Structure 1
């Protein structure tokens, strides 16, 4: 690949180390790239409110693609620039009914968004009782299922104890395939439901258009199934050595694991 004109990276399991930190080596190459005029975009399943700590550690102030492509967030302005594929309450209820057939006993949560990362007028994260978050259960307003599903959401999260995310996704697709998109960013019993056609690739394409950069001059890094479309879209898709097998199959290149600065190992060729 020629020197990239746009760099996109997933966050967890890719840019962050196993200690969930930006290492000095990775931060240094990000600084060199941005000083050379090449935008570095965070592309994550995370909501905007989880982006600022990572952006500060990496020295970034531009765009972040959040919620697997549903949200475009301006880090410096703390502003939600665009929202795509809102799931309306009617669709959310239909999805929940289908999921009870495929995953009886599953628990649901809804990710919502306002005009900024933490909008006081919006319940950003509504969860029903016994919903389990593999990243910790200290976040979210616990509400009855009707309330969780009663407002437009950028994504629906589904937890199921005792199953892997792989198993859950297979079961959910058997009843929902083609209606919504199903993916996951960790294999710990959690899947994410988004509007059909909304992916990290569509979010990154919007950023690339704003910068006037073609897919062929974009490099993207990822490690989990929610990164698949992004790696396919980019001119050079790079999977981490610790990536899910599905990414290893489609990547143009496999770099070192996130524990060994795999992103930096590639970017140091140019920066």
Structure 2
């Protein structure tokens, strides 16, 4: 990893939300709000890069200034927070690939249950735990094969989720990659055995790289923050990367620079140091 040049401000800050920018109670502290505003005032773009769907971005939408973009669904969607979460780019999961993943995981991990995140709705199987806020969403409950089938409509599939009640989270991730990794990108950001599955080549890192390329921003000019396995590729791509003190052990091991924990406003502390020329 190539660090940003000493004394030179980055052009872009990319930060995860849950476990990184947000406190554990899902709030943004006054210190963090001030740091984000100061970064943008200094000419640094700030972009949120999260596994959350666009409908869960209200908690931070008012804290993006400037260009106002956010990368959601682990890279599957780019939204404009200034335009009511309007979709700017979609990188969908092919339905045939999704069905192949479902078939493979049903055989390899009996008891698995699925949910499907589409651009217009979040739908789930009867056995899928109520892990998410479904307020205001269509209430269709059906088997994944139906939710991914032609009769489900034509709106793009952003993400397939797979949950298991008894498997170890990291073990479940390794198993899924082994049996179905050829059909999509597998990662996780939850403490439970919940896998997040995107289309081939779709990740926080790849979508961030695409956005930076369009704006003429080099990876060496990017500072990134994260805490979970779904952040690993982004942290490895960015010129300068910080793992939060509360991060998953794999993230801490792979990322030499560590920030204070999310509840200690670790992102804000680093931004303050960057602006003071100390990082």
Per-residue deviation, residues 98-127 of structure 1 (Å, max 9, x unmatched)? 0101211111111111xxxxxxxx3x1111
Match 1:76 to one of 74, 82, 86: 82
- Residues 1:213 and 2:217 aligned together: yes
Residue 27 of structure 2 corresponds to: 21
- Residues 1:126 and 2:126 aligned together: no
TM-score for the superposition, normalised by structure 1: 0.90
Structure 1 unaligned regions, length at least 5: 114-121
Per-residue deviation, residues 40-78 of structure 1 (Å, max 9, x unmatched)? 10000011111133222x354611001101111111123
Q: Is the 8 A contact 2:204 2:234 kept in 1?
A: yes
- Residues 1:3 and 2:9 aligned together: yes
Instruction: Determine helix, strand or coil for the equivalent of 2:59.
Output: helix
Structure 2 unaligned regions, length at least 5: none
1:134 Cα offset (Å) = 3.5
Q: Distance in 2 between matches of 1:133 and 1:209?
A: 38
Residue 141 of structure 1 corresponds to: 139
Q: Distance in 2 between matches of 1:243 and 1:264?
A: 16
Per-residue deviation, residues 144-181 of structure 1 (Å, max 9, x unmatched)? 21332224411100111123321211221221123211
Q: Is the 8 A contact 2:123 2:138 kept in 1?
A: yes
Residue 268 of structure 2 corresponds to: 264
Instruction: Determine helix, strand or coil for the equivalent of 1:154.
Output: strand
1:135 Cα offset (Å) = 4.5
Residue 50 of structure 2 corresponds to: 44
Q: Which moved more, 1:261-270 or 1:143-152?
A: 143-152
Residue 39 of structure 2 corresponds to: 33
Q: Is the 8 A contact 2:22 2:28 kept in 1?
A: yes
Residue 174 of structure 1 corresponds to: 178
- RMSD of aligned alpha carbons: 1.7
1:140 Cα offset (Å) = 5.9
Seen in structure 2, the aligned counterparts of structure 1 residues 59 and 74 have a Cα distance that, compared at 3 Å, is closer
Per-residue deviation, residues 188-231 of structure 1 (Å, max 9, x unmatched)? 12101111211101111122123321110100000000001100
Q: Distance in 1 between matches of 2:233 and 2:107?
A: 28
- Residues 1:105 and 2:105 aligned together: no
Residue 232 of structure 1 corresponds to: 236
Q: Is the 8 A contact 1:63 1:74 kept in 2?
A: yes
TM-score for the superposition, normalised by structure 2: 0.88
Q: Which moved more, 1:146-155 or 1:136-145?
A: 136-145
Seen in structure 2, the aligned counterparts of structure 1 residues 66 and 244 have a Cα distance that, compared at 3 Å, is same
